[in-house]
Structure 1
Amino acid sequence: MNQKIQKEVSGYANFPNYSIQLDKGGCRVQLIGNDIPLYTAFEQGGFSTLLPFNANILQSGEQTVTIKIYPDAGKTTFDDYTNASIKVVYFEDDKNKNSARKIVQEYKIPKEVIDKKLNYFEASIKFKATVPFNFSKQFESAKDLKKRKNIETEVVAAYHKIHSWLAKKDVKSLADFRKETDKKACLAYYLDTEQEIEERFDYTFLFENNSKADPLPKYTMTFYAGGKLVRLERIDNHDEILTVTGKTEDGYEVMSDLSVLLYMPEGSEELKQF
């Protein structure tokens, strides 16, 4: 697989990089990229980060970023402290540290929304992207999971299986389960050295601090991509429910999560990691 990834990446004519700059304060934010979960920022106070977006791109063409904005923890409406904005940042050549940086689209929560003291607001921006990869075939042929009679039972069973791997520190099963996802990430972010690729498929990092699997919390089941994708999310912040917690040598508690997003390929009756 390493050789196949290296060969495919080396065949790319260019290496465009698309990222999302998120800035927020006085609110909680959830980002969805092309109807695929991208990031949740439910921390209190100000927060700013640049998020890689290439893995949310299935193919060249029009892309959509949706921002969902909620009042800050402990508040029921937006107020004068509320601010949230996103920018689509384009780097022409990901292999060149001096590559030109360009803002291709941006959005900021309107003042009138804040003045109305709403308790929720959602908006989307669109932009065109050109990438050297295409993952759309796998996605287009996926089954509509909303039509499956016992889908929640199937999803919960899949999560319990993954949780058992975390509890047993079974890094091989975790790596096998996420193999296709990590392969796509290597191609989307142009990983072409043996070390980069091997690190992407290595899940020993989850247990570096003698971490142990946390109990599964209360969850809500959420569909994405018109029902082709599904995952279980924490009720309080829409985040991942599979986590491990450990302590550093200095005694600091650290938590890591495992990203899970399930789909069912055409001709299969098994939920797999997308």
Structure 2
Amino acid sequence: MKKIVTTLMLATLLVACGQEKQPINTKIMNIQYPEINANNFEQKLAASVKHYEKEPMYYMRINKSNCVVEVLVNDYRMHRDYELSNYATPLEINDAILKSGEQTVTYRLYPVGDLIKEEYGEGGTVTKLTDNTAISISIIKMDNGSEKTLEDEEVIMKHVSLTDAKGRFIASGKPYYEFTFSFNAQVPYVNEGWSKGQDLSKLDQKLLEAKAVEFYKEYGKIFENKDADLLAKLNFGEEKRNSIALYKKISNIDTLWKEYLGGFDKNSMKIQPIENYRMVFFGNDKIVFLQLNSLEYPYRGSGALRIDYVNKRNNEAVFMPGIYLYLPEGEKLEDGLYTIN
């Protein structure tokens, strides 16, 4: 409680001194949708969505054992699970499917570390995958426009991790394993997404990192300044892609915008320095993400922008908005990066 009181006192002093907010340098964050603002965000999103007689939805059902996992669809990160348990419901993946055709699924398996010790109070730290490590991923298709439930799901394909002649996991004894398989999807929409982005791995890496860090720092100021208009502009492209791919209704979009605005409803916000991170590429090297170098919950796999705050129960909490950046074709890196479409 002492730390919270100190934080609240500091916030009060900053307000009194007129230093509680830093102006946002919008020149660092390129804006693709200048016409979007907090008032028309929902309307413009709803107008971008088309509805069809058949609205195919694709899902993944994942079951794993003796490992933790990250899953990418078309090299776009869709799922992170660093717990021992499994999700009961399938995970929608349409927002990573930009158009009809072949789609790829990549999974990355890691040892469970201290999870068994933490869960059961016994055992040591597991640093390698085991003979019993396994994962299965089913790709499921349903019609979003129908009255069907998950009981009517159509299994497109099922992948099961490989084993050797003795039935042991093929990568037993290793600290990491990655595998990619593909499936075919048919959707009625076409999204540009990050497909027209430049290959960031071929650009000046020091300059790329500097521009990404600049963007992250300025993005954090959006919450200090409660700038709903800028938040809407920067996130419209990604949410447009998601809304089109998921055939979102106006009620879903209304809930989405309320969740965005919930980022402003936090007490004693403190933007942490952008540090202890590494650059990670997604989208076939067209997307850059600054990821924290931490295996601890809730930081593992999260972005380098960290905002500490005091929640409604007067407890310390952390908010880490994921910021995925790219550089459209024809743009110059020295002029800055863009949030992905």
TM bucket, shorter chain? 0.7 to 0.9
**Residues 17 and 94 in structure 1, CA contact (< 8 A), matched pair in contact too:** no
Partner of 1:107 in structure 2?
159
Partner of 1:76 in structure 2?
127
Residue segments in structure 2 that go unaligned for 5+ positions in a row? 1-40, 114-124, 295-299
- 3-state secondary structure, aligned to 1:91: strand
Residue segments in structure 1 that go unaligned for 5+ positions in a row? none
Instruction: Report the Cα distance in structure 2 between the residues aligned to 1:246 and 1:80, rounded to whole angstroms.
Output: 43
The 5 A counterparts of 1:13-92 are 13-43=53-83, 45-48=84-87, 49-73=89-113, 74-79=125-130, 82-92=133-143
Tell me which of 184, 202, 206 is aligned to 2:263. Answer: 206
Tell me which of 289, 303, 311 is aligned to 1:231. Answer: 289
The one-letter code matched in structure 2 to 1:148 is: L
**Residues 307 and 319 in structure 2, CA contact (< 8 A), matched pair in contact too:** yes
- 3-state secondary structure, aligned to 2:91: strand
Residue 242 (structure 1) aligned with residue 305 (structure 2): yes
The structure with more strand, counted as a fraction of residues: 1
Tell me which of 196, 202, 215 is aligned to 1:141. Answer: 196
Larger Rg: 2
Of the structure 1 ranges 109-118 and 174-183, higher mean CA displacement relative to structure 2 is found in 109-118
RMSD: 2.6
**Residues 28 and 41 in structure 1, CA contact (< 8 A), matched pair in contact too:** yes
Q: 1:248 to 1:115 in 2, by over 3 A?
A: same
Q: 1:208 to 1:144 in 2, by over 3 A?
A: same
Q: Which has the higher contact order (CA 8 A, sep 6+)?
A: 2
Residue 152 (structure 1) aligned with residue 209 (structure 2): yes
Residues 184-236 of structure 1, C-alpha deviations (whole Å, 9 max, x = no match) = 1111111132x322333441122445373552451110112332111111223
Q: 1:190 to 1:254 in 2, by over 3 A?
A: farther
> How far off is 1:114 after superposition?
6.0
Instruction: Report the Cα distance in structure 1 between the residues aligned to 2:92 and 2:98, rounded to whole angstroms.
Output: 14
Q: 1:235 to 1:106 in 2, by over 3 A?
A: farther
Q: 1:166 to 1:98 in 2, by over 3 A?
A: same
Q: 1:154 to 1:115 in 2, by over 3 A?
A: closer
**Residues 105 and 126 in structure 1, CA contact (< 8 A), matched pair in contact too:** no
Q: 1:46 to 1:81 in 2, by over 3 A?
A: farther
Instruction: Report the Cα distance in structure 2 between the residues aligned to 1:64 and 1:192, rounded to whole angstroms.
Output: 28
Partner of 1:175 in structure 2?
232
Q: 1:209 to 1:3 in 2, by over 3 A?
A: closer
The one-letter code matched in structure 2 to 1:16 is: P
TM-score scaled by structure 1? 0.86
Q: 1:23 to 1:252 in 2, by over 3 A?
A: farther
**Residues 105 and 125 in structure 1, CA contact (< 8 A), matched pair in contact too:** no
Instruction: Report the Cα distance in structure 1 between the residues aligned to 2:129 and 2:108, rounded to whole angstroms.
Output: 13
Instruction: Report the Cα distance in structure 1 between the residues aligned to 2:60 and 2:318, rounded to whole angstroms.
Output: 24
Residue 117 (structure 1) aligned with residue 197 (structure 2): no
Residues 143-169 of structure 1, C-alpha deviations (whole Å, 9 max, x = no match) = 222232211111111111112223333
Partner of 2:329 in structure 1?
266
**Residues 62 and 127 in structure 1, CA contact (< 8 A), matched pair in contact too:** yes
Q: 1:3 to 1:157 in 2, by over 3 A?
A: closer
Partner of 2:184 in structure 1?
128
Residue 93 (structure 1) aligned with residue 161 (structure 2): no
> How far off is 1:31 after superposition?
0.8
Instruction: Report the Cα distance in structure 2 between the residues aligned to 1:21 and 1:146, rounded to whole angstroms.
Output: 32
TM-score scaled by structure 2? 0.70
